[in-house]
Structure 1
Amino acid sequence: MKLLKTGVAILSVGVFFVALNADEAKPKRTLQGNMNEVYNTLPSSANDVGEAFTNGMFYGRLRTNLFRYDFETADNGSNYDNKAFGLGGSLIYKTAPLAGLSATAGFYYANSPFDSLREDNTDVSIVKSGKDTFSRYDVSTDGDWHMAVLAQAYIQYDISKTSFKFGRQFFESALTASNDTKMIPNAFEGLSFESKEIPKTTLKGAYLTAQKLRDHTTFHDVLTYKDSSGNAWNNSDDSGTHKGLSYANFKAAGKDTENELIIAAISNNSLENLKLDLTYTAVPDVVSSVIGEINYKINLPEGFSLTPGFRYMEQIDDGGGDIGGASLSGNLARDKNPTTLLGYKERYSLDGSAWMARLVLAKGALQLLAGYSDVADEADLVAPWRGFPTGGYTRAMAQLNWIANTKSAMVEANYDFGKAGILNGFKALGRYVIQDFDESKQAAGVQADSKMVHVDLVQQLTPQLDARVRFASVNADNRTTGVDKDSYNEYRFEINYLF
């Protein structure tokens, strides 16, 4: 805690001095609560190639993240208390559109310059959530703690109410997200489109050939775990990665290790207060899924509204089960020799499903949510693209609760003190989550049942500058081995300055 308090004090002083000089005008770009970007000002149209560049606009950002992880039972051969620190930012340039054609380039940088605020080079493997402030692969191979990435580099063509993008880009859907809550966002390479030609309907689609996770400096396959040398940090290594779908296992099955991600989505709100969403996601010849969601807003007296929501996900095995097995841990994959099914119904199947429901009560500055999710006792859900199957229902910070036969319940309160006229620019969010995992699957790496408290406090100091504190406390049962591996406290401190 002394380290965290020292870091917060240093950074708070920096925030104070920056705030004194911050421009109070509305920023060109703002961040939503999930850190997605909203562009308030875009370049004006150009009449010729010269104006396409002279009318272009730069968007800047300075940011820092500080992490501290404190395990209830640390140094037990598996979990270790750890810390991380990131300092950096981004510079994005958009050309002005010329006859509907424009381009965007986004350069991102992060560094961990202070030895006292991060782990030693040899200890990068123990870092949990803070790992996205650096690249474990780069540190372990050449001792390099900084990341410099051209994460966005795409050409855009707009015609009528349809937009096409080709190149490095973000793509937001049910299972994909930029998820820009650390230092560098999650990005993809490929082709995408978004169309609003049909009234009250949005169509989206993407053909994505590569992904760059938040702690990577290079783009890689969208699904394959480990590279040709067996390095676990140089391919798809997100916390939700299916470790059985590895380079070696794909090769042993005679399959290609260069996969594509195909997405098609439709959202419609033709009927008053009713929103319908349908998303298809597929890695051809490996796994696919269909997600349907419905939300209906009911207006109540005194300015309240109640919105019931329901989501269903069906996952279809298209060949990946024979390669990686049913468990995300990879313990049922073709390269393993388990003596049992480790609690799963079928070893070589990725067929699975989940359903979830929620109620959202809102009025003015207050929003309350109660959610529940139930994952079928089949295969784990495959979603290593930073969009979360249970997101918005029961998923809390750093949790992976879409494992087979997992039931979760969450209550959430979100209050905007500024909107209520109490404290300008201050927002608070609190969550309480109960996660009921399947104990019979602990041999496959599934964690123990847990209860979690998660709190976010955000202060918008100026239109360009915000600071936030994030705290999570997980109280978990002992695993069947008698060891508490899953209880911890996590602390985060973050600053964002947009210009």
Structure 2
Amino acid sequence: MKLVKMSIIAALGCSIFTVASADDAKPKRQLKGNMMEVYNVLPGKADNLVDAIADGVFYGRLRANSFKWDWKNETAKTKDNKALGLGGSMIYKTASFEGFSATAGMYFSTSPFFNMDQDEIDFAKAGKDTVSRYNVSTQDNYTLAVLGQAYLQYDFDKTSIKAGRQIFESFLTKSNDTKMIPNTFDGISVVNQNLPQTTLRGAYFWRQKLRDHATAHDVITFKDKDGNSWNNNDDSAIHKGLNFTNFKGDTNHDLIVVDMRNKSIKNLQVDVTYASVPSVISSLTGEVNYQINLGDGYSLTPGVRYMQQMDNGGGEIGGASLSGAINATNGVANGYKDGGSLDSSLYMARLTLANGPLKAQVAYSAVEDAGDIVAPWRGFPTGGYTRAMAQYNWRANTKTTAAEVKYDFGKAKLVPGFSAMLRYAMQDFDENKQGLGGVQADSNIIHMDFIEQFTPELQAKVRVGLVSADARVGGIDQDSYNEYRFELNYLF
């Protein structure tokens, strides 16, 4: 609790010593609360190719990100851990010539101290993405310098096409840039807005580059031909049964995403997303949010999201559980009705009350008692509803209830630039789903964010996660922990 108090004091200290020059002036680029980028200034049009390059815009970022993870009980598989990332990025966007433009982004992260030693890098949790665990384990190298974005863009009418390595923010694919380097994809994406109040998008990706990787890798295969867990898709939510061995060396998978957003009816937003890794897994998700104006600046928005996951062969290959330890022959014994099927569904509901600087929400989610939900692309199926920091609550038969309050003290003209968020979540896991190493135990989570926007360019952020969990089957509490994060960003 001492560290919790220190974190809260640090956050409040940020607000007390707010730089007086912080005003409403917008920088070239801003960060949302989830660290997604918003571009306020974009290059214009050029008359020739030379001017297109010369009239482009640079977007710079200096960044420091630190993590401390304190387990309640250390075990053979868990150890208190820490991490520090120092670095930044430089992104260049050319001006547009005849509808064509280009973007390139270089990212750098190094961890000169306050990190896990080479022989203990496996214990790193939230801060693992400040380095490449593969590079640390094989080369003792704590530095990452990568080409995070590199794509050509063509715009015409109300259509935009991108080809190359890119960020694609969607229901299941996100940059999730909360560490040092964003999650990006190699492929082609198309956005069209010809239909009134409607945005249509499609993407075809053949490679993914997770945040802690120096090179791109397959979109869903776990482990490489040598059995290394950190040289392919090693996302925390990866299905470990969909690995190189079980795929029999066929690691050239593609990810297809098609989505639509419609706002034709006043105050109503409808979202539909289809995602597929052909011959492995696919899903169809629908979401509806309707804003009800209550007067005096208050609004109440009920929302529902439903996801249907369809097994296209992945269950037979890797089993029903993300652990990779369940298959058709041992599924029932380990709590899965059909151990060889990934057919499943997930539904969520929420109610959001908003008024100027205030946003309060209650939400609930439930996963069908079938296969686990597969989503290793940094978009979280329960995100925006019941997901708390560092939690993955889409195992089969998991039920979560959550409540949160956000308040922007700056918008309320109380404390310039300061905002805070408090979230509480109760997770009810199915303890009959044993799998490999047991399922996570039921838990209560308190998650706090404190953000201080000193100036339009300089931001500090403190995050605290407190997890109190039951003991797993066998009587050992190996899921309770406290986590602390502190991040500084300077944009130029």
State the TM-score, normalizing by the size of structure 1: 0.94
Aligned to 2:486: 493
Which residue, out of 284, 290, 295, partners 1:290?
284
1:341 is displaced (CA, Å) by 3.6
Residues 431 and 339 of structure 1, relative CA distance in 2, 3 Å threshold: closer
Do residues 193 (structure 1) and 190 (structure 2) align? yes
**Partner secondary structure for residue 83 of structure 1:** strand
Cα 1:152/1:8, change in 2 over 3 Å: farther
CA distance in 2, matches of 1:457, 1:10: 9
Q: Secondary structure at 1:138's aligned position in 2?
A: helix
List gaps (5 residues or longer) in structure 1.
Answer: none
2:477 equivalent in structure 1: 484
Alpha-carbon spacing, 1:16–1:423, altered in 2? closer, same or farther (3 Å) = closer
Matched, 1:265 2:259: yes
Distance of aligned partners of 1:90 and 1:2 in 2 relative to their CA distance in 1, 3 Å threshold: farther
CA deviation map 1:206-241 (0-9, x unaligned): 000000111111100000000011100000111110
- Aligned mates of 1:163, 1:34 — CA distance in 2: 25
User: Residues 8 and 66 from structure 1, CA distance in 2 versus in 1: closer, same or farther, beyond 3 angstroms?
Assistant: farther
Contact kept? 1:4, 1:68, Cα under 8 Å:
no
Cα distance in 1 between the residues matched to 2:439 and 2:24: 49
Q: Which residue of 2 aligns with 1:230?
A: 227
2:468 aligned partner, one-letter code: N
For 1:491, the aligned partner's letter is Y
2:39 is aligned to: 39
User: Alpha-carbon deviation of 1:172?
Assistant: 1.0
Displacement of 1:26 in angstroms is 2.6
Distance 1:312 1:21, change over 3 A: closer
- Count of aligned positions: 491
Q: Tell me the distance in 2 between the aligned counterparts of 1:16 and 1:355.
A: 42
* Corresponding position of 2:128: 131
- 1:168-317 equivalences in 2 (<5 Å): 168-251=165-248, 256-317=250-311
Which of 342, 361, 376 is residue 369 of structure 1 equivalent to?
361
Distance (Å, rounded) in 2 between the aligned partners of 1:365 and 1:20: 20
Q: 2:428 aligns with which of 415, 422, 436?
A: 436
Query: Structure 1, residues 145-179: CA drift from partner, whole Å, max 9, x if none?
Result: 01111010000000011100000001111101001
Query: 1:339-368 CA deviation, whole Å, 9 max, x = no partner?
Result: 854111111101000110000000010000
Partner of 2:401: 409
Q: CA deviation at 1:44?
A: 1.6
**Aligned partners of 1:165, 1:16: CA distance in 2, in Å?**
44
Equivalent positions of 1:280-359 (< 5 A) are 280-333=274-327, 338=330, 341-359=333-351
Instruction: Write the distance in 1 (CA, Å) between the matches of 2:151 and 2:238.
Output: 26
The answer on whether the counterparts of 1:295 and 1:307 sit within 8 Å (CA) in structure 2 is yes
Q: Which amino acid aligns with 1:391?
A: G
Change (3 A) 1:455 1:17: closer
Report the CA distance shift for 1:210/1:413 in structure 2 as closer, same or farther (over 3 A).
same
Deviation string for 1:312-344 (max 9, x for gaps)? 00000001111000000101158xx85854111
The within-5 A match list for 1:9-28 is 26-28=26-28
Cα RMSD after superposing both structures: 2.6
CA contact 2:82–2:116 (8 Å) conserved in 1: yes
Q: Corresponding residue for 1:89?
A: 88
SS of alignment partner, residue 442 of structure 1:
coil
Q: Distance in 1 between matches of 2:196 and 2:116?
A: 53
Query: Is contact 1:325-1:332 (8 Å) kept?
Result: yes
> SS state of the match for residue 130, structure 1?
helix
1:452 aligned to 2:452? no
Q: Which runs of 4+ in 1 moved over 2 A?
A: 1-26, 337-341, 442-445
The alpha-carbon deviation at position 376 of structure 1 amounts to 0.2
Q: Is the 8 A contact 1:189 1:210 kept in 2?
A: yes
What residue identity is the alignment partner of 1:286? V
Aligned to 1:426: 418
Partners in 2 of 1:250 and 1:411 — Cα distance? 41
- In structure 2, distance between residues paired with 1:27 and 1:171: 22
Gaps of 5+ in 2: none
Structure 1 Cα separation of the partners of residues 462 and 57 of structure 2: 31
Output one character per residue of 1:367-389: Cα deviation in whole Å (capped at 9) or x when no partner. 00100000000000000000011
2:105 corresponds to: 106
Residue aligning to 1:472 = 465
- The answer to which of 441-450 and 480-489 deviates more is 441-450
**Could you tell me how far apart the structure 1 residues matched to 2:445 and 2:7 are?**
25
CA distance in 1 between partners of 2:483 and 2:56 (Å): 41
**Structure 1, residues 240-263: CA drift from partner, whole Å, max 9, x if none?**
100000000000xxx721100001
- Contact map agreement 1:186 1:214 (CA 8 A) in 2: yes
Tell me if structure 1 keeps the 8 A contact 2:269–2:288: yes
Partner Cα distance (1:190, 1:268) in 2: 25
Letter in 1 for 2:246: N
Task: Report the residue type matching 1:433 in the other structure.
Answer: A
From the superposition, tell whether residues 305 and 6 of structure 1 become closer, same or farther in structure 2 (CA, over 3 Å): closer
Question: What is the one-letter code of the residue matched to 2:364?
Answer: Y
Name the residue aligned to 2:389: 397
Query: Secondary structure of 1:414's partner?
Result: strand
| Paired residue secondary structure (1:441) | coil
Check whether the contact 1:8–1:493 (CA below 8 A) recurs between aligned residues.
no
Query: What is the distance in 1 between the residues matched to 2:9 and 2:140?
Result: 28
AA matched with 1:331: A
State the 1:446 CA deviation.
Answer: 1.4
TM-score, L = length of structure 2: 0.95
- Find the aligned partners of 1:13 and 1:406 in 2 and give their Cα distance: 39
Determine if contact 2:65/2:86 at 8 Å carries over to the other structure: yes
- Alpha-carbon separation, structure 2, partners of 1:11 and 1:87: 20
Task: Output the amino acid matched with 1:390.
Answer: T
Cα deviation for residue 301 of structure 1 reads: 2.2
Question: Does the 8 A contact of 1:261 with 1:281 survive in 2?
Answer: yes
| CA drift at 1:19 | 6.9
Amino acid at match of 1:234: N
Q: Mapping of 1:50-61 within 5 angstroms?
A: 50-61=50-61
Q: Which amino acid aligns with 1:141?
A: T
Q: Secondary structure at 2:276's aligned position in 1?
A: strand
- Does residue 158 (structure 1) correspond to residue 151 (structure 2)? The answer is no
Q: Render the CA deviation track for 1:448-493: whole Å, top value 9, x for unaligned.
A: 0000000000000000000011000000000011000000000000
Q: CA deviation at 1:34?
A: 1.3
CA distance in structure 2 between the aligned counterparts of 1:35 and 1:234, rounded to whole angstroms: 26
